[in-house]
Structure 1
Amino acid sequence: MSLLVNIDVPDLEVAVRFYTQAFGLRVTRRFGAGGAELSGWAAPVYLLVKAPGSVGAGSEARRYERHWTPVHLDVVVEDIDAALARALEAGAVLERPVSTDVWGRLAVLADPFGHGLCLVQFLNRGYDEVSERVGGCC
């Protein structure tokens, strides 16, 4: 089993520029004017051109202003300050500045198409700082 990340975008070149500049991803393949495959994360990222107003999941029309979704990307970085500067320079919108918790540091952003994403820098033992063992494991 594997995982692919698909991101709908209205403008492929703007999307390629953003994701390569903000996160250092590389274009692996192009699918004409309709999409691009990016590598550099644990899962391949597919930027897929979908027109605003076209039907997405269910019957909801795609829109590219800021929108909420319960599924988003967490980009784990080693230096959140440097990663945030790079993402903002590439066109990300900062929605919540860096906050620090015992498990790590977090910044909430949106890409140029309204998709939410977070930058995460783990500290100490990461999520183990706040986790409990479940089901007698380990």
Structure 2
Amino acid sequence: MKQLINIDVPDLAAAERFYISAFGLHRGRRLGAHVQEMLGGDVPVYLLENTAGSIAAAMATRDYQRHWMPIHLDVVVDHLEPALTRALAAGAIQEGEIREASWGRIVQLADPFGHGWCLLQFLGRGYDELCD
């Protein structure tokens, strides 16, 4: 099974700049005027330009204010602080302090388009620290 990530954004050019600067992705294919493939992670990311107020899933309208999502995306990094500095410089908003657990360190962010992200640095055996 192959996965990919689709992210609605109101401004494709601004989103491209953010995801390149914040997470080190790079441009892949351009799929028409309103879709940009972003590569460089384990899964391709497709930025889908859709205007605020347009119809989304379940007849809801798109809103690019910060919102809670029942799913979130993590970016795994080797060193948390430099990755956080880079994301903030690109326009991300830090939401809370860096937290530490037996498996690693994490900080929550919001991108400029209302989507939640986490930067995650594994320590020791990573999530295997939680296994018996």
TM-score relative to the length of structure 2: 0.96
Question: Is the aligned partner of 1:125 residue 2:118?
Answer: no
Larger radius of gyration: 1
| Counterpart AA for 1:119 | L
1:13 aligns with 2:19: no
Q: Deviations over 1:4-48 (max 9, x none)?
A: 100000000110000001111010111343010010011100000
Deviation by residue 1:59-113 (Cα, 9 ceiling, x = unmatched): 1111000001111111000011000000000000000121111110000000000
Q: Which secondary structure does the structure 2 equivalent of 1:47 belong to? A: strand
Secondary structure (helix, strand or coil) at the match of 1:129 reads: helix
Equivalent position amino acid for 1:30 in 2: R
Structure 2 regions of 5+ residues with no counterpart? none
Identity of aligned residues (%): 55
Alpha-carbon separation, structure 1, partners of 2:59 and 2:129? 41
Q: Which amino acid aligns with 1:103?
A: W
- C-alpha RMSD over aligned residues: 0.9
Q: Tell me which amino acid in the other structure corresponds to 2:71.
A: V
Q: 2:131, 2:68 → 1: CA distance?
A: 27
Matched residue, 1:136: none
Q: Specify the code of the residue in structure 2 equivalent to 1:76.
A: V
Q: Is the 8 A contact 1:28 1:36 kept in 2?
A: yes
- Equivalences for residues 109-124 of structure 1 within 5 A: 109-124=109-124
Question: Which sections of structure 1, spanning at least 5 residues, go unmatched?
Answer: 133-138
The count of residues paired between Structure 1 and Structure 2 equals: 132
